[in-house]
Structures are given as structure tokens and as C-alpha cells.
Chain A
């Protein structure tokens, strides 16, 4: 029997079967579902791997603490689409072109109207003796890297020396694999047959610079070396022998010598394959069989298979177009690459090897700094043809789109370090491809701004997909967006508001350096007017971050949002909620009882927060001092739930009680919460501490997440819940507690000083020039020379901390501001009304108020003295 999709749709509906669940297959489904509004095609995707298509390009990040789910490509809603059927763990075994069916590994026979082969490649394994021993791996799938990791961890337990590993192949993939081994703390050697590393992308000079940089990172490199044999011991690899030179003792070997197209299904079905494999297709990605197409790495297009994802995406778009009656053709591939291998930038683009006749080369080589840059120009030195950048590839995003165009000026100027050279974007022609991963042109980005109404980088990324894969083009995208907005007359100054022309970071600096302490002074010197709801709280926050005294002192009281002004959280009916601090979520029974009594006596609705503390709702403004007097007497202090400041440090129970814990997560959480309490910041900050890798505190959802290891603490930064959830990224490993605290101090202080208003850590990191790597350099390697200053600022914060609520209760002037009416201080505000629900008070709805029914006294209850 032949299965057709069960959702019986209009008889005109056709069935598309895609074999292979890789990146390119996913792109095809995405593109088809985006364009096929009428539902002309139902799609079945056969994926041999046990998971939905994932980001293979980012495979190595699996070793920097990411989960398999982090490699997910785009939204998973695609797989819920009724017209899309994803069959995970199902392999296609045979194609019957006559009957137009595919037989699967589960014995099913699927009929198709169109069939797309997107089977990708095998990792090639050279025919060396010993290649099948345990400990020999390839590097292609999540399962490969998971097995590799498990093997290395196991081996580490067996030997009392560092684990030793070798990578066969010094190309792009080999260096990725070497990076993975380094991340696993393996002593690593890269063995390359060619005389230099990355022989396909870089020339001799670039290879030499690369080698030096990589050796500097502790990876040994052997070039011009052929592996002749792998010797085993008890079934596992133990030693490598070479055609020349001494043997190498190893525990693990990774083959990264290239890929081989998975074209066996096509061969068996009698379709033509290329000389070096790959399903032969024309420039429409069609095979000789009108119902069968091939895309991605398995396709042999223009006589060759292309091992990069960008041309695969282009092919996917073409087939989606063709299936809907379009006539798109393959424009030729851009084989430019920019990579960060082991932290070393490498990029090559265009005619990198100066193969076209009459090419001129401009080379800047600085072996000491480990930089090699070459531009290939036309014979009149005007038109850019290609280039190679090793060690510093910051010019890549602006140079690559200019290939085939006049560069203008002295070519060498384009090779100067970022900041010294102009990197104009305005003159880029519309058809220049800016994002090669997703094939987005300068024109599309400009249109997204001027016609699509996008007003910032995030909007343009969402609407064009530019910069959403490898991200190397983001600096250029940002420049294009900015110049387009400017051209459209949209002010893209970083001005805070109509009153202050400076950005928040700039304002922070001038206030700090000039020692300004009042709003009036600041606005007089650096702004105009009397401020607004944007600049007033920003200045309030900056002054508070700089430790200039109580937030309600003098004029400062007038620049706080209502939440900060009354030190409570405004609720929808005009009442407030109150949250006492419970550091690390640890609370004594007496403390809990005290909070409970306050809630009961004031009739407050009580709820446990996500930050492991208790929120009390429905307090009138004039009740806040009484409530806080009780809480302060019971030993509590402000929880700053109302502030743009540290909220909580959430913790799991940790090694004190937990069977699995390896460190005292509660103790650390309490110390950190007491250290950073009251720290005012551009937005709220949340921390989390877990006592072991099981991560019960969900620390990676926090701005700063800390996870205990056997040797100390791993630090993650930039996690976020909320509207755009993000997992925090690994920032430093196995820190001892002092190192950890110093690192967090600097990270937070640097964020406080330089982020935009209301910018959480995740977008701050993303928009920071140079991203997380640059922040890493500032915080851990003091690349800006400000570490001491950051440390001192945090020390001043810690020393200067005082509980805002206790200080307010001791100051009659401040207390006077909580009076409800200036002409009737004793009168109770009767505008608040509550009804009972599940045994507690909640605000009455408009209808309930109107009917006057079921109102309960709630917070207007007379307070027990």
C-alpha cells in the first residue's frame, strides 16, 4: 500500500517528500511554507537523525556547555504545521522512480509527486589501518560529538595524565575539531597532509600566521605529514604512525579530512552522479527525472559539490520557488568563509589565491602580532577580487560585499585595524550580498528599513533573517540600518531623549568623571528643559549606581519612578506590592511567620515569586511605612523588587542537603545577594546558583548564572527569561570563589556603566562591539585597563550599602511623603475596592464596583497596633 498524507486536502494538493533532515532541508520546508499560502504542497521530511534539523555549523558550541536543544534552528512551530510531517529517526532506503515511491527503514512506502534529495554528506574516513578502533571519531553530527565527549570523559577517569588527542586534517573542519578537543582539555595535535593549514582557504603566508597563532594556543601542528597507521591497544587507539617523523601517543583521533556526498540512493535509482560523487543537477537544482531535485551538499551543481551552508540555502529557495511555478536559477556560489577557529579569526573570500590573470596582491603581515592580511586586486589596483584575513578578520563584513567592485582609495587602508579605517556602508550597491548565509542583499536591508518600517537592528534581523546564522555580517548590517535611518530623516543619535543628547553610557561617564550629584546640575550642564519619564529615572539610576546617597534625598526624590519613590511596586488599581529580601531564598520559620502576620494584619494578597521570595499585594501608599516598620523590626530589609537593580540570587539547595550537590550553592547565593543588593543598573538583574550540573536553580536563565563543578564554579552570563528567552553563555570555567566574585563584580559593573537604558544583559552583550568575546577580554584580561576601577566601584557599592527602607523609616521628612492627601493626612483613600477569591483579597472589577456587591474591606481593615 502506498501512504499519502492523511490530512485529506483539496484534490489538487500534491505531496513532496524530502529525504534528509539537515539544515538545507529545513530551509526548503521553511521557504515553501512561507510562500505556499494556498497549501498546494503537503511535505514529508525523512530524517535519519533522531532529532529535528539543527545548526550543524554551530556543532562545536556543543562543547562550550550548550545543550543539543541550543542548536535548534529557528522556531519549532514549523513542525506543528499540519502540512508538514517530520519523521525523525527514519531513513529512506530506496526510491522507485517508476512508481514514484520511497521506501523507508520502517518499511513504509510513501508516494510522492516531487522528491527532493537533501542527504548531505558523510564525513570521509581515509583508508588507514586502525581507523575502526574505539577512540576514532568523525565530526559531523550531534551524536558524533556526544560520543566523543563521553569517550574523552571516560578516558580521563582511566589515565592519570591529560588525555591526548590528534585531529587528522588541518582544514576548516579539522581546526574546529581541534577546538573541540581543547575545550575538553585534551592535549591536541593537528596533522595535515598539505604543507600548510587550511590549504583550501589560505595561502602560504596566511597558513604560516595561522600555524603560529594556533600553536600559541597550545595546539601542536604537523604539516606535510601523512598518517600511515593507527595502532591499537585492547581495541582502542593508542598511537599514530606517520610516513615520516616520530610516532605520536594518542587516546583519541578525529578524522576531519573532508566529506563525501551521500548520493547512494540516487545511484541506485539510476540518476546521474558526478565524477567525484554528488547528484548531478542543472541550475534549477533539477535532476534528469522531472520529479526529482537535489539540494545542499549532496547536489553536484555546475560540476561540483559545495560544502557550505549558504549555497545550500540558495538551492532550497530555488526549489521552493520552482515547486510553486517559479523559475529561479542558481546564481553561482560564494565560497567566502569567515570563521573563528580556536578563537582565531580566519576569513577568505572571492579570488583568494589570485588565480585570475593580472591580479595584484596587497599584503600586510605582522608575524609578531599574528596577523596576515591580503587583498587581491585587479591589475589597475582598483577593483577588489578577493582576500585572506588571518588573526583579525574585522574587515571581512565590509570587504566581502565589495568583491568585483571598485574599492576606492588606497586598498591597504581597508586592512587597518577596525576603528582606524573608515568602513563606509552607504556606497554599497543594492545587489551586493551582505549576509551570505541567508543571502540577504544590501538592498533588502535598506528596503526593510525604508519600506518595511524596521527601526533597529533587531527588527531588521527578524524581518530579513540577515545576520541570524553565523553573525559575521552584523557590523555591516548595523551600519546599513543606521545610514538608512539617517537618510530617512530618522534621528539615530544615541540621545536618551529630547532633554539629553548623550547616550546612557556617555552620560554615566560624564556624571562619574565630573562628580555631578544632582539632577539640576546634570540637566543644566548636559541637557535642557526639566526632563521627562526617560531621563529622570536614568539619572536617578546613574546617581544611585555611583553611590551618591539615598534615592529619596533632596531633589533626587523627584526623579524616581513611582516604584522607586515609594519603594514598592505599583499594581493595576493604584495599590502597591511589597517584597522583603530573602537572600538566596533561605528563610527561617520565624521569618516566614513574621511575613505571614504582616500579610494577615494588613489583609495583603500573598504569593510566592519566581525569585524564591514572598510578594504581598494590595498595600495602600500610606500603609507602606507601617508595613515596613513591622518587617524591619522582624529583621527584613528592602528586596528592591521595585528597582532596576539586583532582584534575587536564586539557588538550589546544594551540597548541604542534596545527594548530588558538589558545592554549597545556598551559601554562595546568599553571599552574592548580600554583595550586590541595592546595586542600581540599567535594568533588573537576576542571578542563580546551582550546586551541580543538574542545574535545579535554572541559573542559565539568569543574567549571571553559576553552576558548581568538582573544581569550583562555572560562570554563565546573559541569560534571560521574559519576552525573548535566552540561555546564558559560558563565560569562565572552574573559578574558585574569589575569582568568581571578582569576575562577577567586573561583569556587573561594566554592564552598569555601559548598557543602554532598559537593556538587559543579553541584548547588551549582543550589541556590544565585539560581542561576548570583547566583554570577556575586558573582564578577564583587562583589555581596556579599567579592571581596577571596576573593582573599586564595586567595593564602594558594597561598603556604602544601607537598607533604603530602614533609612526612610528613620527620617520624618521622607515619611511625610506617604500621606495620602496633602489637605487630609488622616483620611483613607477609599478608591481601592477588593473582593474575596480563594480565601484572599483581589481588586474588584469595574462591574463589581458598579454593582457595589461583595466588596470586602481588604486593605482598609483597621490595623492591629
Chain B
């Protein structure tokens, strides 16, 4: 698969791991430009990248939450205070009693079995 690099250079995608390194439905953490990013592979083979920092506790723990679904939406739950986010958009679906706070997400692509994070429009940095 090839792609057309159109994004700004600083938004280059980072290869974080092989798809097979990810346990389905259990998050991992990758360091992307110094930020901790939760990488989640769902049951249907999709891969998502979402901020690992829990805005409610400040702890870097989102990747350790349970993965599941709400209706058709793939979700992850904070293991600290149980807020629920949409893995696709970072929207907070349930603030668990607090005001909902969304999480940042990163674009993800799987190329030749490698998981690439970042690069808004798909720039690939094979570094």
C-alpha cells in the first residue's frame, strides 16, 4: 500500500510496533513525540490511538482500562474513576458523575503489519 504524503513535515507518522505486538482488546502505551499514547486494537482488527493521560486523575493509565463496546461504539473505560470514551473520536460518553472531558486522539494506520501513529493526513516516517 502506498500513500501520498501531503501533511506538514512535523506531523509525520511514527511506527510504534507490529500489529501482532498488540493484544486485542487490551491497551498498550507508546511514546509518540514524548507523549504517552494508548494504542488499542479492538476485536474487529481496528487500531486506535488515544491520550494515555486520564484528565480526571492526571495519571497515565487510560491504556490499562477495559475495552468494550457501547452500542456500536468501541470504547475504553478509565480504570481510575470509570469514565468512558469513544475510541474513534475521544468523545467522553459517560463522565461517571463529573463533567465529560474529551481525550485527544491520533490517526492510526496499519501498513505492512506495522502500526503507524500520527501524521494527520497519513505521512509516514519509517524511522
Measured CB to CB, the residues of A under 8 A from B are: 498-499, 529-533, 535-537, 555, 557-559, 561-563, 565-566, 570, 572-574, 621, 817, 820-824, 827, 829, 831, 846
Contacts and interface: CB of A to CB of B under 8 A. Distances in A.
B59 A572 contact: yes
Nearest to A846: B58
Given A533-B66, A558-B25, A822 B60 contact: no
A537 B43 contact: no
Contact of B43 (A530, A532, A563): A530
Interface stretch (B4-12, B75-83, B104-112, B118-126): B75-83
Nearest to B32: A823
B57 A531 contact: no
B29 interface: yes
B50 interface: no
B79 A558 contact: no
B13 interface: no
19 contacts: A498-B71, A532-B66, A532-B68, A532-B75, A533-B82, A558-B67, A562-B64, A570-B61, A574-B61, A574-B80, A821-B29, A822-B29, A823-B16, A823-B30, A823-B31, A824-B30, A824-B31, A831-B36, A846-B58
Given A529-B69, A532-B70, A827-B31, A572 B80 contact: yes
Interface in B36-75: 36, 39, 42-43, 53-54, 57-61, 64-71, 74-75
Contacts of A563: 79
B91 interface: no
B79 to A, nearest CB: 4
A572 B22 CA distance: 26
A558 B26 contact: yes
B26 A557 contact: yes
A530 B21 contact: no
Interface residues of B, number: 40
Contact of A557 (B23, B28, B29, B39): B23
B100 interface: no
B101 interface: no
Contacts of B22: 822
A529 B43 CA distance: 10
A570 B80 contact: yes
Contact of A574 (B21, B23, B24, B60): B60
A820 B60 CA distance: 11
A537 B66 CA distance: 9
A822 B74 CA distance: 21
Given A498-B70, A529-B68, A831-B59, A561 B28 contact: no
A145 B14 CA distance: 79
B105 to A, nearest CB: 17
Contacts of B53: 831
A822 B70 contact: no
B102 to A, nearest CB: 19
A563 B58 CA distance: 18
B66 A561 contact: yes
Contact of B79 (A531, A557, A562, A821): A562
B69 A532 contact: yes
Contacts of B36: 821, 829, 831
Q: Which 5 A-B pairs have the closest CB atoms?
A: A574-B59, A562-B79, A558-B25, A822-B28, A532-B68
B103 interface: no
A616 B76 CA distance: 28
Contacts of B23: 557-558, 817
B123 to A, nearest CB: 18
Given A558-B24, A823-B31, A829-B36, 11 more contacts: A530-B69, A532-B70, A558-B26, A562-B64, A562-B79, A573-B57, A573-B58, A574-B59, A817-B26, A821-B30, A846-B58
Nearest to A498: B70
A536 B74 CA distance: 14
